[in-house]
Chain A
Amino acid sequence: MRLFAWQRFRAMIGKEARQLRRDRGMVALTLVLPMIQLFLFGYAINMNPRHLPTALVSADHSRYERDIVTALENTKYFDIHLYPTEQAAEEALRRWDVMFIIDIPPNFERDVLHGASPSILIDADGSDPTAIGNATAAVTALGANVLARDLPPDPRLRPAQAAYQTILHARYNPEQITALNIVPALIAVVLTFSTLVSTAMAITREREMGTMENLLVLPIQPAEVLLGKILPYVALGYLQVSLVLSIAVLVFGVPVAGSLTLLLGAIGLFIACNLALGFVISSLARTQRQAMQMAQFVFLPSMLLSGFLFPFRGMPVWAQVIGDVLPITHMLRIARGVLLKGNGWPEIAPDVWPMAAFGLAIGALAVLTYRRTLD
């Protein structure tokens, strides 16, 4: 018997789609739930992460520069890495490697001494305002006395006005509206809820209703069951995405800076990951209750460790490691990156591969755990 036959596959899709359409509550839930989440999470929780990676681009290595770097590091908000050029730092900002760029202009020392009050330019990644909020406040609070120790002792030689100024520039989300950070991420969150739960239920429901006994005795192959059950939910997932995106753009004013096609493609991969995971759950769970509980087990880290509710940079390393395994973490970055930063393929690729690897591994596990007997 062939391992995959179009006719059986289509029959499976048709059956699932019909059942899905008749499940009024389910359809309502998948359309209403995202809206509720959207408006609930439209306002974010303010958190205070420290040790944010920061790029330092310096055209003037002086003791004043060292004073400033030390002072910044003493605030605990910044982990400063030296970048050779402005382009390299820019690149790092787009790739989420750093959250700030500190740019010390040429002739900084001379200008300080001449009382020209030179400006230090600080670029912050505004796409995650909760993450940078307190850090930027700390910069402003530093003030001029940072340099006091190294300024000439003679008051006459000291500059008349502030020794230097900082110009803060929040990129991507200049007004630092939290909704701009949260709303694109909701795409990933909403999809996790709906696709994971629906597939986690897919097999368990058949088992609980007793229909599995009949399905297993029919000549249908695991791949046909899996894909046939998944596809209608992929369609439903995209319906949700378009709903959330429309509200995001029309109500919350989220920009679409990058390519929508690229985003939708990445979303497809993300949906596939969730569905595969849902399938593993539904093969392992005996009842729908168990399936729900196992899904909760995935939700919790998805909400807490992905960078959705709390800034990723604020988490301890072990939590970041767990977060990095979860596809939602990468989907969040991709959604925020494409919508807010206008990221293209080169920038999102480092987040696509981990998702693809996760999807493949879990997909294989789904096929392996699918039981063809009632044992």
Chain B
Amino acid sequence: MTAYAIDVEHLSKSFRGKRVIADLSLRVAEGEVCGFLGGNGSGKTTTMRLLCGLLLPDGGRGTCLGIDLLTGADEIRRQVGYMTQRFSLYGDLTVAENLDFVARLHGVRDRSAMIREAVERAGLGGYLHQLAEELSGGWKQRLALAAAVLHKPRLLLLDEPTAGVDAKARREFWDLIHEFASEGMTVLVSTHYMDEAERCARVIYLAGGHLVVQGTAAEVVAQAHITVIEAVGGAVETAAPRLRHQPGIETATVFGRALRVTGSDGATLRAAIAAAGVGAFDWREVEPRLDDVFIHMLNNPPAGISYGEEG
């Protein structure tokens, strides 16, 4: 039997009558790096807050690290590291002071060694005595990550840790995340970047507070049953809007000189393109990507589920 670091059932949460999380059941195996995806307002942050006890669910139950969500908030606080989406350390304290404060609250033994280790891993060495509010966005993120892992949590919740982080640092962040996982930490990490989703062992896609799909990236793509065809040429910009409104075509998107068109199957797609009469392109079928899949899912919700107004 697999042990689950996160195992929750039928969670729901409303804010002032507005349902934000609806009947969410979620399992994340121990030691897994799990990507958490979904559009703006789909409920990722809210779910993470429910998981670490920052919000009380209106309904549902479950465990985090085997500890009951509803009764074990104190214990969960000690074993979970949570990096918030918005920077939430103290701007008027230095990097070192912030880390020291967090370490003390966690009652970390051998504080200075642990802080040194976290600082080294996050590459914060040169900034120890700088006020946190004076750090650039990317460095704030590194500080927040260092603070979240100081006490060696068993479960790490990272809410868009790489938002605003440059490409090289983003790669380093992910190397770190995998390092943590190899040490036994379970990581649930939300992101809007598809390349990051592909670095996760599993992804969970959320829309309108519902879980839409979960699995490995390949599984998710295979389950989706969509076809993507692509053409390269000079006139793609003018063709795209006309294709977009053609029945049988779900999306038509320009990427540089390439035009990417998605639909449920190849034959319908080609027929629709011909009907639109956008001229001669050399259409080739290509592999669907995760973002193609997610957009398809949003456009074709399973019966009985409405995703609300976001997409």
Residues of A within 8 A of B (CB): 1, 5, 7-8, 10-12, 14-15, 18-19, 22-23, 209-220, 372-375
Contacts and interface: CB of A to CB of B under 8 A. Distances in A.
Contacts of A12: 105
Interface in B82-97: 82, 84, 86-93, 97
Interface residues of B, number: 31
Nearest to B79: A219
Contacts of B90: 15, 19, 211
A7 B107 contact: yes
Contacts of A11: 100-101, 104-105
Contacts of A375: 55-56
Nearest to B102: A218
B215 interface: no
Contacts of B80: 217
A1 B74 contact: yes
For the complex of A and B, the 4 pairs showing the least CB-CB separation, nearest first, are A11-B104, A214-B88, A219-B77, A218-B105
Interface stretch (B25-33, B46-54, B272-280): B46-54
B54 A374 contact: yes
B54 A373 contact: yes
The winner among A8, A15, A220 for most chain B CB atoms within 10 A is A15
Contacts of B73: 372
A7 B54 contact: no
Given A373-B54, A374-B49, A219 B92 contact: no
Contacts of B105: 8, 11-12, 218-220
A14 B97 CA distance: 10
Interface in B48-77: 49, 52-56, 73-75, 77
Interface of chain A, main secondary structure: helix
B78 interface: yes
Nearest to B147: A214
B242 interface: no
16 contacts: A1-B75, A7-B104, A8-B105, A11-B105, A14-B101, A15-B93, A15-B97, A210-B84, A213-B54, A216-B54, A217-B80, A218-B77, A218-B105, A218-B106, A219-B78, A373-B55
A18 B132 CA distance: 14
Contacts of A220: 105
A18 B92 CA distance: 9
A373 to B, nearest CB: 6
A197 to B, nearest CB: 18
Contacts of A210: 84, 86-88
A211 B88 contact: yes
A10 B82 contact: no
A219 B74 contact: yes
B92 A19 contact: yes
A125 to B, nearest CB: 49
B74 A211 contact: no
B107 A8 contact: yes
A214 B93 contact: no
B130 to A, nearest CB: 13
